[in-house]
Amino acid sequence: MNITIRQLEIFVAVVRAESYTRAAQKIHLTQPAVSMQVKQLESQLEVVLFEQLGKKIYLTEAGSEVYHYARTVINQLQEMRTVLEEIKGLRYGKLRISVATTANYFAPTLLSTFYKRHPNVSVNLNVTNRQTLLQQLEENEVDLVIMGKPPSTMELEAEAFMENPLVIIAPPEHPLASAQEIKLSQLLSEIFLVREEGSGTRGAMERFFKTHHCKITTGMEISSDEAIKQSVKAGLGLGFLSYDAIQSELDLQQLTVLNVEHLPIRRYWYLVHRKGKRLSRFALAFKEFMIAEAPQILGKARIDGAVDIS
């Protein structure tokens, strides 16, 4: 068996892109070159890696096994490079950070402060929802993640660094806008615009209503906090969002927070990485910076031994 790392990298790119053509675009090769490398890998390993059904390609059982090991090899190599860069004392470094869609409202401010102190670090910032963040952690594709509380079933290290209260928002002219202590039962005739499946905000909202035995009516499912706010402003329904996502609309009085019993949901932002991951010195510096300074830079209260119930 004489397989190469390049073949494994190309194979992993095809699996992730679920297509030879898209993988080729991503890694700047031609589609025939990509197919050829995968064919050579198949003939070296003496197995078929993909099967084609209609226009889609699927991993075979052998393909899934190879994918598992190929990812591990590539991630280990990446980690080796990081460790060697440390040993060589390189002044330049890369930091791969992924943040939950909602953390998009404060992550750039924090990154900009960090970047001023460490101008030699090149940051790759990816914004996506909770489900994808967990996948990226699982596959060791990121150094650090900012998200709501991760599941205890995964081998992760997670530290809460800031509050993330969730509230119900309405346009200022909504009949309940000035009501005090709104009962959940008063919301049964309202329509809620909700985030997509896989969003942490959506999960917390569903658990909240379930705990309080409240069956709400949901309207549009929208995969962006920004579009939810616009839709709430336009009178299409109520929204359930993080306080962090609505600061400027509250300041401009374009939206209001409804004063509903049992709310806000007390939720926290966590800085997360895989347990036992060798963090580069830049990643370690970012972790320490976030935990020590993030709330203060964003003008939020520090948290102490927080217990996350959501």
**Interacting residues toward ligand PGA by CB under 6 A:** 100-102, 129-130, 147-148, 164, 195, 199-201, 267
Q: Which is nearer to ligand PGA, 102 or 256 (CB)?
A: 102
CA dist 104 and 100 (Å) reads: 7
Residue 267 CB, shortest distance to ligand PGA, in Å, is 6
Tokens 């299409």 correspond to 236
Residue 283 CB, shortest distance to ligand PGA, in Å, is 21
Residue 132 CB, shortest distance to ligand PGA, in Å, is 8
CA dist 95 and 286 (Å) reads: 9
Report the run of H or E that residue 14 belongs to, with start and end: helix 5-17
Q: Which is nearer to ligand PGA, 37 or 199 (CB)?
A: 199
> C-alpha distances in angstroms, 244 versus 31, 92, 215, 219, 309?
43, 32, 26, 23, 18
Q: Which is nearer to ligand PGA, 63 or 200 (CB)?
A: 200
Residue 157 CB, shortest distance to ligand PGA, in Å, is 17
Q: Which is nearer to ligand PGA, 183 or 207 (CB)?
A: 207
> C-alpha distances in angstroms, 57 versus 23, 60, 72, 196?
12, 9, 22, 26
Residue 195 CB, shortest distance to ligand PGA, in Å, is 5
Q: Which of 282, 224, 222, 233 has its CA nearest to residue 90?
A: 282
Amino acid at residue number 159: E
Burial of 229 (0-12, 13-18, 19+ CB in 10 A): buried
Residue 209 CB, shortest distance to ligand PGA, in Å, is 16
Q: Which is nearer to ligand PGA, 95 or 100 (CB)?
A: 100
CA dist 109 and 247 (Å) reads: 14
Q: Which is nearer to ligand PGA, 121 or 146 (CB)?
A: 146
Q: Which is nearer to ligand PGA, 79 or 196 (CB)?
A: 196
Residue 273 CB, shortest distance to ligand PGA, in Å, is 16
Which residue's C-beta sits nearest to ligand PGA? Answer: 200
Residue 92, phi then psi, degrees to nearest 5: -105, 145
108 within 8 A of 156, measured Cβ to Cβ: no
